[in-house]
Structure 1
Amino acid sequence: MLALSIAWRQCRSLWSSGEIRVLLFALILAVTATTSVSFFTDRIKSSMQTQGNVLLGADLVVNSDHAIPAAYKAEAQQRQYQTSQALEFSSMVLKGDSSELAEIKAVEAGFPLRGHLTISKRAATAKGELTSAEIPASGTVWIEPRLAQKLALKIGDEVSVGESQFKIAAFLLQEPSRGGDMFSIAPRLLMNGADVEATGLVQFGSRVKYQLLVAANSEGTEVNQAMEDYAEWLKPQLARGERVDDIRSARPEMRNALNKAQQFLGIASMVGVILAMVAMLLASIPYVQKSLDAYALMRCFGATKKLITQILLYQTLLLALVGSVIGCVLGFAAQYGLAILAGRLFLETLPAPGWMPVLLGLVTGFSTLLTVVWPQLMRLRAVPALRILRQDLEGNVHTNGIVFLPALLVLAGLVFWHAGDIKLAGIVFAALVALVVVAGFLAYAGMRLVQSFSVQNFGVIKLGLMGLRRRPILTIAQVVGLSMGLMAILLLAFVRNDLLKNWQTSLPADAPNRFVINIQADQIPGINALLTSHAIQHADIFPMVRARLISVNGKPLNVEQYKDDRAKRLAEREFNLSWAAQMQADNELVAGQWWKAEDAGKPQLSLEQGLAETLNLKLGDKLTYDVAGTQLDLTITSLRKVEWNSMHVNFFAVTPPKVLDNYAANYLTSFHLPAGKEEALNQLVRKFPNLTIINVSAVMEQLQSLLSKMSYAIEFVFGFSLLAGLAVLYAALMATREERVRESTLMRVLGASRKQVVLAMLVEFLCIGILASIVANIFTNVAAYYLATLVLDMEYQFNAWLSMQALLAAIVLVPFSAWLVARNQFNQPPRALLQSV
């Protein structure tokens, strides 16, 4: 216990004298930055997942073409999950002599499990809308406004569905679960599940989609884990025609958005870890230098290396415990303030934080202090007792870089933990390692270059350059540390800009929100003319031929050969073949050649890249389709990457013109219908009654709302990480204050003016800032390129203005921060400075 007692007394003494405050402050700040970002990103992730699940109406949905086994619901209830069931089918809705096809959805109490139904009991518009926590009462139905328009229905009217009569009780304005079935052809009619039997519509052989909706009672990351556990239990039980959907599998555009947002938040968390390690490294170097005399004195009194090692170990653990606990508390307080502000922007309360960020903060504090500071402290064991008499003696206290290998391994582990993706973490970590090597080499080369020449006429500049030469190890550490910190913040800024730009362009305000299908060839001129007369910007009208894939390279298609459920569904579904002379603007050729004008009529095929990968198809494969009983052979000559997020009409399979001329085709198009121009649709339907118009505006609004909230999350996390980075930079510069004080004292005693001392220091840190900024810019752009192309699946664009801003910021902030730390010392006379040293 002697070592522990000495360690405790020494910590108190060092705190009183101020010698340990910089290190402890850096540790607290590092843990605060890490935990606050982790707390906030954890809550944001949970909020985004919850918001995404609103589009499904649940956390997980089991879909089936037959009655769902009771065991699925029983298992969910045994796990204490919320459940609700629904079924969907198409049927005619009659009002007098008029009829209209509708998609009937029968639900039971509790539907939906996520989100709310929005209805109006006055008019078929948003006016007078209200949120309902109930479902239609037995004997009543809720209908979408477009069904009311087609049949001229109003509240209180009765309609016939099968063998039963139902009273219209409300207009259904928004149904959360419709997000999982975006392109529903017919308008919705929502009814109570208890009334289905009375309609007589669900019989043996009827085409009905059965749904089991499941939601966890927990919040945050526990929801994901709960649903993953339940899904793992379900998979072996699933029979043919059954599948499990969550927000990622049901909505590809939401999957992309959520994945990219969570990848960014992972990068933001990594920034906190990197800054933590940088602060510990820079703060530990001067702390060790200031402790040399104390341990030399202990050696004079007979302390053994073993005792000194124990004292150092206990002292490190005490510092880690105090700093980590305080950092976790401050991190929670900091994120809580941000969460309140973010909650107002999100228009709902963020989920409660979990305990994982606390564990992460403790692991970060202890691991960084032990691996980064401990090797430095171990140098003190070799301090000779003779140093008490001769200050130039340090013994064998200089170590090679191998002692920092544990710190590098810990940094790698924390980066991988935060990233949650091997590829993402690998790119960032590889860039960091390369940066450390290159920055260290350039700093060393720069100092050797300074030694090779002298500045004759600029004394202040010469003094500043000599400062770099006097402290080679510290200079290299500062350049490497500042480069890592700048790279972390710059990388976050680059990815943030690209991600926000990607979201803005992928789902613009004028994205198509109406799809028109069943267009006949002779109706195309009239439709174009009508839309043009109403000043509606519309996309091209595309042909479509229904076909089913029956063989690949002459071998009959075997659906069972695919292990993935999605691959099985894609293989056995009907495809919409189309033709085009030119590739669409939102398509990108990734393999093969697009056809030329002379290739018209040749049996060539261009496939969407994702479909080809899912079905294991490649260039040169010969596909045989069944088109209305006739076989059609096509050879894959190109693969395309399709931007499905654009909401424009796109196809998995496209042929050259004239290939499908002998097959019956209909046409479809999409366009953006501005608010207040609904009369144009009424005219379109009256003039061309065979058309089917699909309204996706409600889902578009949900998607845009979710992307907007994600953007707020990105801005908040980036801003907070930027502030944390600046604070850590300030802490790192504070660690060198005492040495700067001694130098300025000596320079003032030898006759240097206050202005000369300040300018010399600014020159020194200006050089450090410029070098660190150049290195950080180079490696940030390299890492950003690979992150964009290999991880985030976005187009990389070099941001020259952001790189220039980083360089200018380093030129201004690094010298200014150094002056801010030492400014009080510059205002004191040399005598006062000598007495304080």
Structure 2
Amino acid sequence: MAWRDAKASRVRLLLFMASIILGIAAVVSIQLFSTNLKDNIQAQSKTLMGADFIIETRQEPTERAKAIIDSLQPNAYEVRFASMVSFPKNNGTKLVRVRGIEGPFPFYGELTTKPVTAATSYQSDGGVLVDATLMLQFNLQAGDSIKIGNITLPIAGALSAIPGNNAISSSVAPPVVMPYRFVAATNLLQFGSRKEFQYFYKASDTLNLKRLEQSVSQRLDMENADLDTHTSTTARIGNRFDNVGKFLNLAAFIALLLGCIGIASSVHIYVKEKLKAIAVLKCMGASRLQSFIIFLIQIGGIGFLGGVIGSVIGVGLQALFPYFLKEFLPFTLEISISFQPVFIGVVLGVFMSVLFALLPLLRTWYVSPLDVLRVDEQGAQEPRSVRYFVFGIILICLFLFTLWLLNNALYAIIFVLATLLTFALLAGVAIGFINLIKRFFPKHWHFTARQSLLNLFRPNNQTVVLVVAIGLGTFLISTLYFTKDILLVKTDVTQSSANANIIILDVQPDQREAVQQSIAEKGLPVLNNIALVTMRMHSLKNKLVNTIRQDSTRQVRRWILNHEFRTTYRDTLSDTERIVKGNWIGQANSTGLIPISISENLASDANLDIGDLVTFNVQGVLLETEVSSIRKVDWTQVQLNFMVVFPAGVLEQAPQFSVLTTRVANNTIAANLQQDLVAKYPNVSIIDIRQIFTVVEDILNKVSWVINFMAFFSILTGIIVLIGSVRTSKYQRIKESVLLRTLGAKNKQILQISAFEYMFLGLLGSLVGILLALISSFFLAIFAFKEPFMPSVIPFVVFLPGITILVVAIGLSNIQSVLQSSPLEVLRRDGN
């Protein structure tokens, strides 16, 4: 019976199925991608690091740290630092990440170079491996030379890949690999230089890395060094991408929910049209269970087919993610198809279809044989308690599925509540709009406009589900654009002539005046000339940092205890900071404790307040200070900001280096400045902020594509729900058309009525979605990003009219058959 009835309603059931196909495809593609990612990380755990474990430190190892490092007998080591390099061939200059390596690193994986032999020969030949993209940018070939600091070396080959590197970091500071024995000759590792030492180990199979980490990590931690094993590092990488996968899964789940709501609404109308047939079946002896199962089989069948088709599409789609996320991945992702996500997709298709169709299917259970004579809106209503029970089951299942995705009960509850709130707001607006029309019906409007408004609350209307479908898709994609603008609002450095876009680092005291002179000779302003003094915390509140490290109950964040602070001294506040607690002291007294000002985040993480004592170690000299003020710092401004600021009159004679900033108008001036400074002062590093912002914007654009991709699922699902709703109520519209035409209405008027109706639906759904996105983005800007809210106009000028036109086009696509139906056709159908 289910099969016979399904054949008669196959077009409608196919549209039901289409509603969940996209949601299943999204879930399966992301599940497959996540599974492949975890498998690849597990399989390439050693290759990602290039060694079994690494000891790293951001300064010259202390004697104790060096003793531990040597006792473990490193197989290779390196020093890495940022530096400007130049290419004599064309006088080009570039900020790079220099890696001076000694030993046969990597032990796992390989250096991918062109020519291939350069990966091993560069050490013995004394050559340098240069990032392949950088070589293309400056038109370099193997055999050309590169100037690093005070020495010039031949380029052995182009470097395409090295363990521990990714495309994002390479785009800001491309890697340049050189033999370690030449590092000292560059004369680049001067006071204040940002450098990192790494020692690589290839362990025997019998070594227990976890036990080693437990026994050595704490001792290294006290010496400002860290030990990372390949297992712990890959676990961190896995967790990082696991969070991305969870986000994408939730976005896919929303698209699936949207399709399920479309199924619930369509099944509701479908079952209402079948009530008379069900009553006849019961007159012929069919039981409640039989009539219920007939339609349950239909819904389960379309859920199964939808799951299968969606899973097949998902298998194809998952191949796109590695392409768009490759710059975020530190390795090449190998795609394979596993059975589990496909099985989940099929099960999910059946389960979600039946779950959301359960509420409307309950009506088949409560149809009585007497209803064959009097089927109406109230003729077969299930008890309210049963309805609430089924609704509770739906909520529990949603919570369990979300818990499976997030592995966090609190986040799952928040997500379910947020989803319910969004759906409730959209549905509430639709219901409120209908009630508003009923109460304040425009009786004096033109006939076609009045009739189109009446259609919004006619029997079998789909106003609520369409507003929810259209609104949710618009909400997702509009939120993307609003939040993207929040993130990019600070990256436009061209709006103000006061903003610096070139930062010159590591300027030594004896070079400061000469660098200023070089900048001024090119007609450029020196916007900032800031002295930096490096130091570490020796004690907090009269408690030694080493003692705090060993305290498991400490309230101080770990990074505070290991951080090398770059501080400055001045007598005034900058434009990007204001005092929120205490008093600013710009000039130190000759006696007593030194007053300092700290940032809010430092005060919070170090558990410091006004009057607390902090002792700093400045190159072996201890300075006793007292927190006199706490500052709120706008870290997003393109300006140098500091967590710790000393007053003038304290650090002037301390070992220090300077940072200068200027502003250039175009790439030509920037290139000339960099060439001049690098030629005169090889130790100086120059950061072109415009290039960094270009990279940031490119990253955000790629993230935006992924989010757009997920929003597209919701929009397209909403369109399919719309098509299904139009098809579902097609016969009802034919009857209305016949009645209107019998009363004298013309085809043009019927067309206008439908066009106005769908225009109202499209405008209402998309406008509510955009307004909800505007509100949510405002709260994100204020509370999450702490940025001024500057919304994009794209949702208003593109999405609002675009989605409205799309809804009208889909609605009118079904009108042709309505216009071609004669009154006699309907009378015959009723007679049959």
In the superposition, relative to structure 1, how do residues 774 and 693 fare at CA in structure 2: closer, same or farther (>3 Å)?
same
- State the percentage of identical aligned residues: 19
Q: Could you tell me which residue of structure 1 aligns to residue 458 of structure 2?
A: 470
* Counterpart Cα distance in 2 of 1:367 and 1:70: 59
CA-to-aligned-CA distance 1:281-310 (integer Å, 9 cap, x gap) = 333222222332332222122122233344
Q: Return 5+ residue gaps in structure 2 as ranges.
A: 58-64, 82-97, 131-144, 183-195
1:154, distance to aligned residue in structure 2 (A): 4.5
Counterpart of 1:624, as a letter, is T
The answer (yes or no) to whether the contact 1:56–1:176 under 8 Å persists in 2 is yes
Q: Could you tell me which residue of structure 2 aligns to residue 449 of structure 1?
A: 436
Counterpart of 1:652, as a letter, is M
Asked if 1:381 corresponds to 2:365, the answer is yes
CA-to-aligned-CA distance 1:700-741 (integer Å, 9 cap, x gap) = 989966873662353255156326513532333422432333
Counterpart of 1:397, as a letter, is Q
* Counterpart Cα distance in 1 of 2:41 and 2:754: 47
Counterpart of 1:531, as a letter, is I
Q: Could you tell me which residue of structure 2 aligns to residue 78 of structure 1?
A: none
Output aligned runs, 1:288-327, within 5 Å. 288-327=271-310
In the superposition, relative to structure 1, how do residues 135 and 793 fare at CA in structure 2: closer, same or farther (>3 Å)?
farther
The answer (yes or no) to whether the contact 1:63–1:209 under 8 Å persists in 2 is yes
The answer (yes or no) to whether the contact 1:68–1:211 under 8 Å persists in 2 is no
Counterpart of 2:475, as a letter, is M
CA-to-aligned-CA distance 1:63-116 (integer Å, 9 cap, x gap) = 37458899999xxxxxxxxxx95313699xxxxxxxxxx9742132546748x4
1:623, distance to aligned residue in structure 2 (A): 1.8
CA-to-aligned-CA distance 1:556-581 (integer Å, 9 cap, x gap) = 43232465999546425543321245
1:483, distance to aligned residue in structure 2 (A): 2.9
Output aligned runs, 1:90-489, within 5 Å. 104-108=100-104, 110=106, 113=109, 116=111, 134-136=119-121, 139-143=124-128, 148=147, 150-155=149-154, 177=164, 189-190=178-179, 209-212=198-201, 234=213, 238-241=217-220, 243-244=226-227, 265=248, 268-336=251-319, 351-352=334-335, 355=338, 357-358=341-342, 361-362=345-346, 364-392=348-376, 395-397=379-381, 402=388, 403-414=390-401, 429-454=416-441, 455-456=443-444, 458-471=446-459, 474-489=462-477
1:456, distance to aligned residue in structure 2 (A): 3.8
SS of residue in 2 equivalent to 1:541: strand
Counterpart of 1:725, as a letter, is I
CA-to-aligned-CA distance 1:179-219 (integer Å, 9 cap, x gap) = 899999x99642599xxxxxxxxxxxxx97413489xxxxx
* Counterpart Cα distance in 1 of 2:330 and 2:537: 47
Asked if 1:28 corresponds to 2:7, the answer is no
SS of residue in 1 equivalent to 2:127: strand
CA-to-aligned-CA distance 1:328-352 (integer Å, 9 cap, x gap) = 1123334547877998999997641
* Counterpart Cα distance in 1 of 2:500 and 2:211: 37
In the superposition, relative to structure 1, how do residues 260 and 8 fare at CA in structure 2: closer, same or farther (>3 Å)?
closer
Q: Could you tell me which residue of structure 2 aligns to residue 519 of structure 1?
A: 508
Q: Could you tell me which residue of structure 1 aligns to residue 770 of structure 2?
A: 777
CA-to-aligned-CA distance 1:134-180 (integer Å, 9 cap, x gap) = 3346644334899845555444xxxxxxxxxxxx9679899665789
Q: Could you tell me which residue of structure 2 aligns to residue 99 of structure 1?
A: none
Q: Could you tell me which residue of structure 2 aligns to residue 812 of structure 1?
A: 805
Q: Could you tell me which residue of structure 2 aligns to residue 634 of structure 1?
A: 626
* Counterpart Cα distance in 1 of 2:637 and 2:48: 16
CA-to-aligned-CA distance 1:8-31 (integer Å, 9 cap, x gap) = 55444542xx34222122232432
Counterpart of 1:715, as a letter, is W
SS of residue in 2 equivalent to 1:657: coil
1:467, distance to aligned residue in structure 2 (A): 1.9
SS of residue in 1 equivalent to 2:616: strand
Q: TM-score, normalised by structure 1?
A: 0.72
The answer (yes or no) to whether the contact 1:432–1:484 under 8 Å persists in 2 is no
Counterpart of 1:142, as a letter, is G
* Counterpart Cα distance in 2 of 1:344 and 1:175: 14
Say which of 736, 751, 755 aligns to 2:744.
751
Counterpart of 1:106, as a letter, is E
1:806, distance to aligned residue in structure 2 (A): 3.9
1:653, distance to aligned residue in structure 2 (A): 1.4
Asked if 1:533 corresponds to 2:521, the answer is yes
SS of residue in 1 equivalent to 2:119: coil
Counterpart of 1:732, as a letter, is L
* Counterpart Cα distance in 2 of 1:636 and 1:369: 63
Q: Could you tell me which residue of structure 2 aligns to residue 554 of structure 1?
A: 542
Counterpart of 1:721, as a letter, is A
1:373, distance to aligned residue in structure 2 (A): 0.8
Q: Could you tell me which residue of structure 2 aligns to residue 802 of structure 1?
A: 795
1:635, distance to aligned residue in structure 2 (A): 0.6
* Counterpart Cα distance in 2 of 1:580 and 1:174: 44
* Counterpart Cα distance in 2 of 1:328 and 1:279: 19
Counterpart of 1:632, as a letter, is E
1:386, distance to aligned residue in structure 2 (A): 2.8
Q: Return 5+ residue gaps in structure 1 as ranges.
A: 1-5, 74-83, 92-101, 119-128, 156-167, 194-206, 215-228
In the superposition, relative to structure 1, how do residues 569 and 654 fare at CA in structure 2: closer, same or farther (>3 Å)?
same
1:752, distance to aligned residue in structure 2 (A): 2.0
Output aligned runs, 1:33-72, within 5 Å. 33-36=26-29, 63=56, 65-66=65-66
1:584, distance to aligned residue in structure 2 (A): 5.4
CA-to-aligned-CA distance 1:802-837 (integer Å, 9 cap, x gap) = 245443345433333221233332244333455467
SS of residue in 2 equivalent to 1:490: helix
1:393, distance to aligned residue in structure 2 (A): 6.8
In the superposition, relative to structure 1, how do residues 397 and 140 fare at CA in structure 2: closer, same or farther (>3 Å)?
same
Q: Could you tell me which residue of structure 1 aligns to residue 141 of structure 2?
A: none
SS of residue in 1 equivalent to 2:814: helix
In the superposition, relative to structure 1, how do residues 246 and 313 fare at CA in structure 2: closer, same or farther (>3 Å)?
farther
In the superposition, relative to structure 1, how do residues 393 and 668 fare at CA in structure 2: closer, same or farther (>3 Å)?
closer
The answer (yes or no) to whether the contact 2:22–2:256 under 8 Å persists in 1 is no
Say which of 721, 726, 735 aligns to 2:711.
721
The answer (yes or no) to whether the contact 1:56–1:247 under 8 Å persists in 2 is yes
1:660, distance to aligned residue in structure 2 (A): 3.2
Say which of 746, 756, 760 aligns to 1:763.
756
The answer (yes or no) to whether the contact 1:30–1:327 under 8 Å persists in 2 is yes
* Counterpart Cα distance in 1 of 2:232 and 2:426: 44
SS of residue in 2 equivalent to 1:134: helix
In the superposition, relative to structure 1, how do residues 741 and 48 fare at CA in structure 2: closer, same or farther (>3 Å)?
farther
Q: TM-score, normalised by structure 2?
A: 0.73
1:243, distance to aligned residue in structure 2 (A): 2.8
Task: Give the CA RMSD over aligned residues.
Answer: 5.5
The answer (yes or no) to whether the contact 1:142–1:171 under 8 Å persists in 2 is no
SS of residue in 2 equivalent to 1:289: helix
In the superposition, relative to structure 1, how do residues 650 and 342 fare at CA in structure 2: closer, same or farther (>3 Å)?
closer
SS of residue in 1 equivalent to 2:19: helix
Mean Cα displacement is larger for which, 743-752 or 703-712? 703-712
Say which of 613, 624, 645 aligns to 2:615.
624
Mean Cα displacement is larger for which, 377-386 or 455-464? 455-464
The answer (yes or no) to whether the contact 1:435–1:776 under 8 Å persists in 2 is no
1:466, distance to aligned residue in structure 2 (A): 2.1
Say which of 587, 593, 605 aligns to 2:596.
605
* Counterpart Cα distance in 2 of 1:35 and 1:499: 30
* Counterpart Cα distance in 2 of 1:256 and 1:538: 44
* Counterpart Cα distance in 2 of 1:659 and 1:71: 41
1:460, distance to aligned residue in structure 2 (A): 1.5
SS of residue in 2 equivalent to 1:476: helix
The answer (yes or no) to whether the contact 1:284–1:376 under 8 Å persists in 2 is yes
1:694, distance to aligned residue in structure 2 (A): 3.6
CA-to-aligned-CA distance 1:501-556 (integer Å, 9 cap, x gap) = 677779x9x99787532521x64332112023346676622112343323323334
